[in-house]
Amino acid sequence: MAHVSVMARVSVADARNWQIFSLALLLTYGVSVLGFDQTLFNAFLIIATALATQWLCSRTLSGRDFDPLSPLITALSLCLLLRASSAALLALAALIGVGSKFVLRFGGKHIFNPANFAIAVLLLSTDAAWISPAQWGSRTWAAFLFLCLAALVLSRAQRGDIAIAFLGTYIGILFARAFYLGDPLAIPMKQMQSGALLLFTFFMITDPKTTPDRRCGRLVFAALVAALAAYLQYVYFMPQGLIYALFFASALVPLLDRLFPRDRPEVRFTWSRPVLN
């Protein structure tokens, strides 16, 4: 019966299915074409640990049926972004990320995007883990493919507003900074051509379960993350600014939900019934 329950969840028309397909395709492309320094063993270990953590926490902490979709998204995101000096740290990241959904909760939903939380914790606590934003290069057609896949996901998850608000604010800051410094426009154009930026925008900050419920709250949240990320990157020269910005700003989501409550408190986003208000 458990097997039937899992298969039923996987077969339902769910935005997460498109996310998994897109992320898996991007990972395959990155490893086979772009030469990502991610081994098959490490990828298998991350995925297996994420699924095992979801299964264990579902049985012991939530009492809900095992749902493989969410941990698969977390695991694939970690495979794409996170690198470490040992496989044990990668497994720990999967454990921390998926486990955080069950432990760090407020108002009926988890606070942090699991992959973002795991990456931020490892970056802050050890020098043996890092992210590789340069691994994507700046191939225009590859970025276009990335954007198209992300748009497909957003059409189902209904969080295009936060992606547009974030990119608009962040790109605006890049061009304003270039204008202020007298830099040629080629510099912000180059900074925009980042697969890691698109991955963050369309698969991490747009997580419907960890963003504000109301659209106006999401727009404020997106602008805050963009401003904080740019501040960390270009004032403190922290290449992980995007990860840290989302990590710290996520703690403000409960406050934004209180400041901008939903029109109908009983209606909240679920994967089977997307809500956009």
- Classify residue 151 by its DSSP letter: H
How far is 112 from 81, CA to CA, in rounded Å?
17
* Domain extents in the chain: 2-133, 141-259
pLDDT digits (tens, 9 = 90+) for 44-86: 999 999 999 999 999 998 878 899 999 999 999 999 999 999 9
Whole-model pTM: value is: 0.87
Asked which of 22-26, 98-102, 261-265 is least confident by mean pLDDT, the reply is 261-265
What is the pLDDT of the chain when averaged over all its residues? 84
Among the listed ranges 24-38, 42-56, 81-95, 173-187, which one has the minimum average pLDDT value? 24-38
Find the mean pLDDT for residues 212-222. Answer: 94
Taking residue 88's Cβ as centre, other Cβ atoms within 10 Å add up to 11
Say yes or no to pLDDT of 16 above 60: yes
| C-beta of residue 141 within 8 angstroms of C-beta of residue 29 | no
Between the CA of residue 39 and those of 36, 45, 90, 233, what are the distances in Å?
Answer: 8, 10, 12, 29
Alpha helices in the chain (DSSP H): 2-11, 15-29, 40-57, 69-81, 87-103, 114-125, 140-157, 160-181, 186-192, 195-203, 215-234, 241-250, 253-259
More confident residue, 140 or 264: 264
Q: What is the chain's length?
A: 277
Angular region, 182: left φ>0, alpha ψ -120 to 50, beta rest? left
The answer, yes or no, to whether residue 264 has pLDDT greater than 80, is no
CA gap 140, 142 in Å, rounded = 5
Decide if pLDDT at 4 tops 50.
Answer: no
Q: Is the pLDDT of residue 147 over 70?
A: no
Considering only residues 136 and 24, tell me which one the structure prediction assigns the higher pLDDT: 24
Q: Provide the phi-psi class of 137: left if phi over 0, else alpha when psi is between -120 and 50, else beta.
A: left
